[in-house]
Structure 1
Amino acid sequence: MVETIYGCKWSLTVYQLLASEINRPGEMVRSVEGLTTKVLNQCLRKNVEFGILERISYNEVPPRVEYKVTELGTKFMEVLDELEKLQSEIDNKYNKRVN
């Protein structure tokens, strides 16, 4: 699961958008250059399947869909943050040795 989600370069971007309270797919596509509706939908679908995001569909005309982070998703993102911190530490130690 981690490899699948982390391997999708757009998942981390989606998490950042959700943290910025951008939770509607159309708004997400408009907010990120290079992100297409098709790729976003695939990314969102995977995250929903893994239980990281929840899809909320409103019975309105026109239809409205929003996404929010689940409790599991919050824990998952905390783990990703820790991995990024660890990678930074590793990079800093490596760069000190090289220089």
Structure 2
Amino acid sequence: MKPIRALIVAAALAAVLPDAAFAQRRPDSLGADWRQQQDQARGGVQSGRLVPLSRVIEMIGRRVPGRVLDAGLEGDNYRVRWAAADGRRIDFIVDAQTGQILSGG
């Protein structure tokens, strides 16, 4: 019985290991330039040119109960991916300079 169990374990490991190696090589889901965008957003907020993302997230939370999935700066806008309390996933596009919601919800 032991040799059969060892074979099953070996086969399972062989099937899983290539996926684990691929997962380590996968690009970041936020994109290759996410750190540059983060620095750009931070600089814009510090200079007073951009609304802080935390304020945008609070505003969305008052409008649609739920939680943020991820958020980032895309050009002159923030994109906020939101999980609504009712199960919907909403992508909000918000003007980063004014805080005005352009689409979503």
Q: TM-score band, normalised by the shorter chain?
A: under 0.3
Structure in which a larger fraction of residues adopt helix: 1
Q: TM (normalized to structure 2)? A: 0.24
Which structure has more relative contact order (CA 8 Å, sep 6+)? It is: 1
User: Which structure has the greater CA radius of gyration?
Assistant: 2
Q: TM (normalized to structure 1)? A: 0.25
